[in-house]
Structure 1
Amino acid sequence: MTQRGCLVTEIEMELSSDAEKLFETNEAQDTASEDILELNQFDGLPFSSRYYKLLRERETLPVWGAKCQFTDSLIKSQVVIVTGTAKTGQSTQIPQWCAEFCLSAQYQNGMVVCTQIHQQTTVELALRVADEMDVNIGNEVGYRIPLQTCCSPDTVLRYCTDDVLLREMMSDPLLEQCGVVIIDQAQERTVSTDLLLGLLKDVLLARPELRLVVLCTPGSPEKFLRHYGNAPLIQLQGPEPCQLLYGSGRGGVKDYLCSALRLAIQIHQNEMQGDIVMFLATEQEIECAHAILRREGTTLSVSDVELVPVTLCPAQGDSLSFLLEESKSRRVFLTCTPTDELFWALHTIRFVIDAGVQKRFVYNPRIRANSIVIRPISKSQAESRKQLSGSMGKCFRLYQDDTSLPAESVPHILESDITSTVLFLKRMEIAGLSHCDFIDRPDPEGLMQALEELDYLAALDDDGNLSEIGIIMSEFPLEPQMAKTLLASCEFDCVSEVLTIAAMLTAPSCFLTAPVEMREKALFCHQRFQHAEGDHFTLINIFNAYKCTQDGLFSRVEPWCEENFLSLAALQTADMIRSELTEILKRLELPISLPAFRFSREQQYTNTVARDIDGLGNYFMLTHKHVAQLHPLSGYGFIQMAPQYFFYNLPPSESKELLQHILDHGTAAPSKGKRKGQSTNSTPPIEEQTHERCSIQ
């Protein structure tokens, strides 16, 4: 071969090599271009780099392995039941898969609605899912909680509280705008959740295209399976079990608070890094634990790591959003929530201290009051709490290994005042849903009392159906008694005052609990607002003072609340509730009068329904012979009041005779057979005192 021929061959080889490289480069660019141009099916825009980062995190969740199984079940069945703990990712991923299902070419029947129990969890889940779906909150993903809506006509996935969805069913009983309804935390069996599960059974029959997904914890799906027949069950595998340690004391959980505090300090001094969750029973225990750990934490620093207590109470609207960042300190999360749902986004927890008890409000229809009951948690709750610590953590149970825990918690509908529930169901009869297939039917005695209460409030007609007043009452997001009071205020020209009272009673308590060293100062500040005629008027004073401070030229509302030991969040909530109630009155074209009622500080009430028995705040309730206590923040003091409703509805009895004597003479009548010299104010016999205790609020 000549030199020229060799040169041509080398040139051709180089050109061929360059062509191959160019082809590979173009192919790589095309592939990269396809990745860059991959469009989000929800908003039509290219995905951001954060989407792919979060996608890699999502694919590591335990729920991800069940995506195909879940999608197939959703296509073939109207009802799908999924069990898993908070750390499996079911509350964030399954709603997204349902949204994809609703947007598919084969199925376009509305949006996805996912219910939650706690308002703050509802908002935080919506924010997280919007981030994962790479869309803006309030557009394709939104949320709705009482007094706050963040949605648009483009919303395809919406988180909301279960009570909000119930109220929506009053105007849209078949949920025509929904393609999939997801009931999360179904094992908690709140009254609203049970109503939804009962009503949706008929809605599914009327709408074969509708899908229902029930999310619950392991150990609790049996009743749901029986309720919905042969629904497919998907069981998610959580993290590997952590190290489990039990208490060994003979006293069980009697002194669990001291044990829990001692254990938290020992963990901080001897264990590896990681946050602690401490499950207690009451807010008072949390307050005490917080004060002790705050005092001791500064002196217990280990390697410059401080022990910091953090209070999380769902009733007070505490949020985790500001706690998601990494912290150099070891945090002890103090909570009395029975569930683990507040901690779904926290991945720094390594230790769980479980007292094994919870506080429940149990309604007694015979005395028409709630009693506070401390009882064991269920096995399902215990297992869910254990999962929070992860496979590398430890769970300390402050009860013995052989302690008998109930299989599941008692449904709230069996222990609550169901007057509001019955009013709602009567309203749903008008809307076309005349039957609610309860998983657990309410107690007949409570049901009869609820009907009697509604009849007394004129909410029912002679046939037992809702009257015009009952229909109007159902429009208000209030207890029926308060709704009727608000309607009556229109007649007596005191709408403004009753609006304020209703809003303040519906919102969380506005009184802040001060540290021990500042209790006296806080009490003095609260007493400045007290009104001689009772706590309701005190609430009006506080709200009016708040509005005056808020409406000033230079608003000092935040420091004003701090100075007076009042909750700014609670007062803001009350203000929003009052505005909502005002709008409802305007929509119903009911008269709204200006403030016209004037309070007389000199008038004192002498009627009595409860008698002080020991001078220590214990009162013997004459209507049903139970011992009760005034709320610690009550301003009634020695003022004893008796609404005429209680007196005239008392059956003939010794109690009514005693009450009549007090009304006539101002003092209690001597008891029959009383020994000479015995005090008329003596403590009732022991057998009369051994009853449940309830709190007059």
Structure 2
Amino acid sequence: ESDINPFSKKPHSARYKKILQDRKKLLVFSQMDQFLKIFNKHQIMLVVGETGLGKSTQIPQFVCYSDLPHTKGKIVACTQPRHVAAMSIAKRVADEMDVKLGKHVGYSLCFEDMSEPGTTFLKYMTDDMLIREAMEDNLLSRYSTIVLDEVHARTLATDILMPLLRNIAKRRSDLKIVVMSATLDDMRLQKYISLTGPKNPAPLLKLPGRTHLVEVLYLDMPVPNYVEAAIEMVFMIHSMEGPGDVLLFLTDEEEVEEVCQKIKLKAKDLLKKQDPDSVTPLVCIPLHSSLPPQQQQRIFDPAPSPRTRGGPAGRKVVISTDFAETSLAIDGIVYVVDPGVSKQKVYNPRIRVESYLTSPISKASAQQRAGRAGRTRPGKCFRLYTEKDFMTELEEQTPPEILRSNLATTVLQLAKLGIDDIVHFDWIDPPAPESLMRALELLNFLGALDDEGRLTPLGTIMAGFPIEPQMAKMLIASPEFNCSYEVLTIVAMLSVPNVWLRPPKQRKEADAAKALFSNADGDHLTLLDVYNHYVNNKHDKNWCWNNYLSARALQQAENVRTQLLRTMERNKIELVTTSDARKLSENIRKALVCGFFMQVAHKENKTNHYLTVKDNQVVSLHASCGLDTSPEWVLFNEFVLTTQPYLRTVTEVKPEWLLEHAPRYYDESTFPNGHTKRALFPGRKREQEQQKHQLGAAASGQRSAEQQSNSGPSERKKKRKSKKA
């Protein structure tokens, strides 16, 4: 090995040499020669090995040191399903290669690019970003090798990339592809990615697993509350098990933060009741995707030191969403607590609702979680469910996203990639026909696809925005209403995590602070007001904290806004506003209708509930909505399924705007009969009644005339005599 770094042309640092010794201990490092043997001989290959072996950090490095892409002006890409993984792995690899992050090694996310054109030769990126690059360059010509990582996650983007990259490789013999997985059916995947058909499976490198034993323990009986059971299990481990850190899986960030607080409080109480010197120090660290990167890095901190010299060693408890299942490897974890549930995205195409439901995990996920305990030494996995439930209630694999997602964005991306026949696209698992039809229907009503399913000029512009098609449409339509400046801000605010902070012990104060920002016309305009106040207060973090607002989410919104503004400028979309505040509110809401006209609900007078248009789902407004009244018509951003269906992020609209700006969707002749139709077309109903009345009167007059003409002269005389009488 040379003392000179082949990439920076500088001598290797002492730190590099120390890290190299750690790298050589990784199981994947011993397979480098075998990997390069297959890699150099074949254009496409599959690497399978359990989580934590070092595939994500080492395989792309093996490629770089062997292929030296920088000498050819090329780039090696490594895709990740999660943006946090792309960032953290890129940082680790830059350290291992003794180069600066953002220079030779970088990362690229949806609204953040830490790479340098002409210098970066190894780029970690989210899988959707590689699709966006393919939309601009169909052959991905600047890449020499693409490593498709974590394909077992089966994200929408990964399921598009596998057939897409295989087709590109057939047209580019100089492009190498490495597909990496932790748990999938090896032979099925080998056949699917093969360039010469399923009869000639792609070559496979199967990495040896770890030798550390993980003991799996089940409950004898199911528990009524997995959260309370998880907290009890953490303290049972803390008091009765030997040294080692704990990893607890929970369903979402709110649950993670709440349980973290409870564990901290319980640990303080233990400290008060017992001799502090005899109590093992305990630190609790949350982990979820909404945390800023520096806080996420805390999971790699060592466990706390003993309180006294010779006292018991400290213990670290990491409480995580399923993010820690595969994306990050945490040294020191010896005990895993697995409640057996996760928040999973589900989509109901019939009512066009995508929501997150707490559901049992799969057996594959359970095995992944257990494997986190045996990374560096023997460990234990405590499953908070029975062995019978594991065998009978858990599916073998988590259903891929393609089978449980709204496909509108996916279909638009495929259309931009030149794939018109979506139904016969070579999916590894084809989506439900109804889901595809709903996506095609939405894109047709938005004007992105024509009646033949082909991309329109408007659809081409919409596909260029890294946001949902509805938001892209309202952004493109906004200059027509002189409010593109404001709609740009609203779209940015809708594209980031929740800006409202609501700490468990300060919910009343947080709700009161939020109420001060509430705009009477709706939540979309409230988000606009919050962003404007944030900018006017010079991005002050203390102002955010005092108003229970997330400074990080607002900073993200500013970054997103800047990126979207560049896309608008590229497409010559004007940035305009309206000086009259009352008129501005109306214009913004009309622009919202141009994108979200299919997400509208009408109030039922008798019950005070709402009915979604066309689908007639009975819903209520979520408690977080800031509207003072319950308007007759509302446009919503989210349909949330919890104990009952709710609408969240809601704004008042007028029915005449729906008829004016979405006439094809709100066509009276095709609109389903019912309460909403009667409310939407009241004038036309009155016209019909008047016409009916007029026709009835005319018919009555005609019958009377006929009777008179048919009666004889003597009869008419009798009638005249009776009138005189």
1:495 aligns with 2:484: yes
* Aligned mate of 1:609, from 602, 614, 617: 602
Once the two structures are overlaid, the 10-residue window that deviates more, 372-381 or 48-57, is 372-381
Q: Describe the shift of the 1:271–1:424 C-alpha distance in structure 2 as closer, same or farther (beyond 3 A).
A: same
Once residues 400 and 222 of structure 1 are traced to their aligned partners in structure 2, the CA distance between those partners, rounded to angstroms, is: 32
**CA distance, structure 2, for counterparts of residue 610 and residue 312 of structure 1:** 40
Report the Cα offset of residue 540 of structure 1: 0.7
Quote the offset at 1:492 in angstroms.
1.1
* Normalised TM-score (structure 1): 0.82
Equivalent residues in 2 for 1:511-660, closer than 5 Å: 511-515=500-504, 517-550=505-538, 557-596=540-579, 598-599=581-582, 609-611=602-604, 621=612, 623-636=614-627, 638-640=629-631, 641-642=633-634, 644=658, 651-656=671-676, 659=679
Q: Which sits farther off after the overlay, 217-226 or 561-570?
A: 217-226
What is the TM-score when the length of structure 2 is the normalising length?
0.79
SS at match of 1:387: helix
**1:392 and 2:392 aligned:** no
CA change 1:256–1:433 in 2 (3 A) is closer
Aligned match of 1:31: none
2:627 is paired with a residue whose SS is coil
Deviation larger for 381-390 or 96-105:
96-105
The corresponding residue for 1:675 is none
**Counterpart position of 1:483:** 472
Is the Cα contact below 8 Å between 2:288 and 2:323 reproduced in 1? Answer: no
Q: Quote the sequence identity (%).
A: 33
Determine whether 1:296 maps to 2:248. no
Rounded to whole Å, the distance in 1 between the matches of 2:682 and 2:323 is 45
Q: Distance in 2 between the 1:614 and 1:354 partners? A: 42
Is the contact made by 2:614 and 2:671 (CA closer than 8 Å) also made in structure 1? no
Q: After TM superposition, list the pairs within 5 Å mapping 1:175-186 onto structure 2.
A: 175-186=140-151
Alignment check: 8 A CA contact 1:217 1:380 kept: no
Task: Check the 8 A contact 1:340/1:384 in 2, yes or no.
Answer: yes
Query: C-alpha distance in 2, partners of 1:135/1:601?
Result: 50
Check whether the contact 1:493–1:597 (CA below 8 A) recurs between aligned residues.
no
Q: Which deviates more from structure 2 when the two are superposed, residues 80-89 or residues 429-438?
A: 429-438
Q: Is contact 1:109–1:209 with CA below 8 Å preserved after alignment?
A: no
1:128 aligns with 2:92: yes
Task: Give the superposition deviation at 1:473.
Answer: 1.1
Q: Does 1:61 align with 2:36?
A: no
- CA spacing shift, 1:602–1:441, aligned 2, 3 Å: closer
Contact kept in structure 2, 1:249 and 1:400, CA below 8 Å:
yes
Matched residue, 1:331: 316
Q: Is the CA contact 2:69–2:144 (under 8 Å) kept in the aligned structure 1?
A: no
**Number of aligned residues:** 618
Query: What pairs with 1:107-186 in structure 2 (closer than 5 Å)?
Result: 110-152=74-116, 153-186=118-151
CA distance in 2, matches of 1:629, 1:63: 53
Q: SS at 1:586's partner residue? A: helix
- 1:322 to partner: Cα distance: 3.3
1:197 — aligned with what?
162
Which of 222, 225, 232 lines up with 1:262 in the alignment? 232
What is the 5 A alignment of 1:451-466?
A: 451-466=440-455
Deviations 1:530-568 (A, max 9, x none): 011110011011001000001xxxx6x100111111111
**What is the distance in 2 between the residues matched to 1:366 and 1:144?**
36
Give the one of 246, 249, 252 matched to 2:217: 246
| Alpha-carbon distance, 1:121 to partner | 1.6
SS where residue 300 of structure 1 aligns?
Answer: helix
Deviation at 1:56, TM superposition (A): 1.1
Partner in structure 1 of residue 717 of structure 2:
none
| 2:709 alignment counterpart | none
Distance 2:573 2:254 in 1: 42
Counterpart CA distance in 2 for 1:86 and 1:244 is 17
Asked whether 1:372 is paired with 2:356, we answer yes
1:123 maps to a residue whose letter is M
Secondary structure of the residue that 2:89 maps to in structure 1?
helix
SS for the counterpart of 2:491 is helix
Gaps of 5+ in 1: 1-34, 666-697
Tell me, yes or no, if the aligned pair for 2:286 and 2:319 is still in contact at 8 Å: yes
Verify the 8 A CA contact 1:459 1:466 in the aligned structure 2. Answer: yes
Distance 1:249 1:664 in 2: 65
Q: Is the 8 A contact 1:141 1:151 kept in 2?
A: yes
Question: 1:393 and 1:172, CA in 2 relative to 1: closer, same or farther beyond 3 A?
Answer: same
Letter in 1 for 2:352: R
| Contact 1:99-1:111 at 8 Å conserved across structures | no
Instruction: In structure 2, give the amino acid aligned to 1:624.
Output: D
Residue 38 of structure 1: aligned partner: 3
By how many angstroms is 1:254 displaced?
4.5
> How far 1:198 sits from its partner (Å)?
2.0
CA offset at residue 304 of structure 1? 4.5
- Checking the alignment, whether the CA contact within 8 Å between 2:299 and 2:318 is kept in structure 1 is no
TM-superposed CA distance for 1:431, in Å, is 12
Task: Indicate how the Cα distance of structure 1 residues 596 and 464 shifts in structure 2: closer, same or farther if over 3 A, else same.
Answer: farther
Residue 601 and residue 39 in structure 1: after superposition, are their counterparts in 2 closer, same or farther (change >3 A)?
closer
Q: Is the CA contact (8 Å cut-off) linking 1:190 and 1:413 kept in structure 2?
A: yes
Residues 629/373 of structure 1: CA separation in 2 closer, same or farther (3 Å cut)? farther
1:577 is displaced (CA, Å) by: 1.1
On the 8 A contact 2:489/2:561 being kept in 1, the answer is yes
Please state if 1:443 is matched with 2:436.
no
Q: CA RMSD in A?
A: 3.1
Structure 2 CA distance for aligned equivalents of residues 407 and 530 of structure 1? 47
Q: Give the residue type in structure 2 aligned to 1:392.
A: P
Say whether residues 1:313 and 2:278 are aligned partners: no
Which shifted more, 634-643 or 113-122?
A: 634-643
1:493 to partner: Cα distance: 0.5
Work out the CA distance in 1 between the residues paired with 2:605 and 2:129. Answer: 41
Q: Tell me the distance in 2 between the aligned counterparts of 1:522 and 1:487.
A: 35
Q: Distance in 1 between matches of 2:547 and 2:213?
A: 46
| Distance (Å, rounded) in 2 between the aligned partners of 1:655 and 1:568 | 44
The equivalent of 1:672 in structure 2 is: none
CA shift for structure 1 position 109: 7.9
What is the CA distance between 1:388 and its match in structure 2? 1.1
User: Taking structure 1 as reference, are residues 354 and 638 closer, same or farther at Cα in structure 2, changes over 3 Å only?
Assistant: farther
SS at match of 1:215: strand
Secondary structure of 1:334's counterpart equals strand
In 1, Cα distance between the equivalents of 2:68 and 2:422? 29
Quote the offset at 1:510 in angstroms.
0.5
For residues 421-472 of structure 1, the C-alpha deviation after alignment (integer angstroms, 9 at most, x for no partner) is 1111111118999985221122211212212211111122354321111111
Secondary structure at the aligned position of 1:218 is classed as coil
Please list every run of 5 or more consecutive structure 2 residues that lacks an aligned counterpart in the other structure: 195-200, 305-313, 591-599, 635-652, 686-725
Structure 2 residue aligned with 1:341: 326
CA distance in 2, matches of 1:432, 1:629: 39
1:470 aligns with 2:424: no
Task: For 2:521 and 2:334, locate their aligned partners in 1 and report how far apart those are by CA, in whole Å.
Answer: 52
